[in-house]
């Protein structure tokens, strides 16, 4: 199983919708909110998705189709 993190930005019209819940129901992935800031007009959150890589990729595509901007969070690793 893989675990990948993404930064999501929501347009104002999507703020009241349970988008993360829907993704967890529509795809076989576990959603874990790692941080968020939501107001009446804007919202972002850091979301960790756990599951098979193909399922995570489909879930990310599903988020984009729902109008959410999705960017991967890449961690800097010092060896």
pLDDT, one tens digit per residue, over 20-65 is: 999 999 999 999 999 999 998 999 999 999 999 999 999 999 999 9
User: What confidence category does residue 75 fall into, taking pLDDT thresholds of 50, 70 and 90?
Assistant: low
Task: Return d(Cα 64, Cα 45) in angstroms, integer.
Answer: 14
Domain 2-72: which topology? Alpha-Beta Plaits (3.30.70)
Please give the model's pTM, rounded to 2 decimal places.
Answer: 0.88
Q: What's the rounded mean pLDDT across residues 63-79?
A: 82
Query: Residue 10 has what pLDDT?
Result: 95
Query: Residue 74 has what pLDDT?
Result: 75
Delimit the domains of the chain by residue range. Answer: 2-72
Nearest to 63 by CA among 9, 23, 35, 7: 23
Task: Return d(Cα 37, Cα 8) in angstroms, integer.
Answer: 11
Query: Residue 79 has what pLDDT?
Result: 42
Q: Quick one: tokens of 14?
A: 């999507």
């Amino acid at each position: 199983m893989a675990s990948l993190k993404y930064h999501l930005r929501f347009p104002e019209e999507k703020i009241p919708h349970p988008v993360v819940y829907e993704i967890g129901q529509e795809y076989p992935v576990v959603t874990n909110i790692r941080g968020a800031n939501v107001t009446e007009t804007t919202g972002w959150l850091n979301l960790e998705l756990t599951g098979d890589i193909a399922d995570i990729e489909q879930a990310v595509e599903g988020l984009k189709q729902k109008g959410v901007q999705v960017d991967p969070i890449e961690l800097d690793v010092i060896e």
